[in-house]
Amino acid sequence: MKAFSLHSSASKTSRFFSASICVWILLLATPALLHAQQKTNNNGGWSRIFRPTYSILAPHEWRVDSSQTRGCDLYFFSPKEDATDPFSENVNVVLLPIDSTTFNLEKAVASNLTQINQMLADVTILKSETVTENGRSFYVLDYQGKYGVHNIRITQHCFAKGNMSYVLTLTTRIDTYDKYKDIGLKIMKSIIFENTIAEPLPVMVQDYTPPAKGQNQ
């Protein structure tokens, strides 16, 4: 695979999107990693995972990997459907420093569409736009295509916060997207950006109780 670079202020973010795409390709090639991590408590609930600059919800029945392998800060792996299931639907979080004075997210995403077409066959872009939800804006890139024998659907949310960019990626098979969409998007949309932890720490888990009706998550 050729390295991808841009001669623009968005080059780091383009490499960032590319890294997120590469992660799921590598996961397809290394299925042993999907079984390497322990599950959180399997009681059907959720926990909030705390990292140095953000926190995010995780369903207890999904495996959480904070080893930071393959360029990801966190992975969340769905339970295998059966012993022969060759693919674990997953969410990953990738971080990359950016220059907030010159950063242009739309340009970075547009440039990276070329890389997507190089990695996948039969690519269809389903959504590529900035959205605003609950008072915060982020970029949504939703697409599908074929990699080897796998028909894949990928949804990415990109946030720019200060001098850091965050890409959250949900990867499913096309035929399982509807099954995993709600839980995957809930994980990604639960991210909260915080600066209360000064130094990098091991992943911390806190049991999460859903808010009362009418309150924000």
What's the pLDDT tens digit per position in 3-46?
222 223 344 444 545 555 545 554 554 443 433 343 344 445 89
Q: What is the DSSP letter of 101?
A: T
Give the integer Cα–Cα distance in Å for 102 and 173: 36
Q: How much is the pLDDT for 204?
A: 47
Question: Are 83 and 15 contacting, i.e. CB atoms less than 8 angstroms apart?
Answer: no
What's the pLDDT tens digit per position in 58-113?
999 998 988 887 778 998 999 887 777 778 899 999 998 887 677 776 677 766 77
Mean pLDDT of 142-148: 91
What are the C-alpha distances in Å from 197 to residues 82, 111, 193, 194, 200?
39, 34, 11, 8, 7
Set out the domains of the chain in order of their start, with CATH numbers: 11-208 (3.40.1000.10)
Question: Are 93 and 205 contacting, i.e. CB atoms less than 8 angstroms apart?
Answer: no
Q: How much is the pLDDT for 104?
A: 72
* Angle in degrees, CA 131, 159, 98, rounded to 5: 140
Single-letter code of the amino acid located at 97: P
Q: How much is the pLDDT for 145?
A: 94
Q: Which residue pairs from 131-136 have beta carbons closer than 8 angstroms and sit at least 24 positions apart in sequence?
A: 133/189, 134/216
Mean pLDDT of 132-153: 90
Q: How many CB atoms lie under 10 A from the CB of residue 210? A: 10
Q: How much is the pLDDT for 119?
A: 84
What's the pLDDT tens digit per position in 124-136?
999 988 899 988 8
What's the pLDDT tens digit per position in 158-176?
888 888 889 999 999 999 9
Is 26 or 120 the better-scoring residue by pLDDT?
Answer: 120
Question: Are 191 and 56 contacting, i.e. CB atoms less than 8 angstroms apart?
Answer: yes
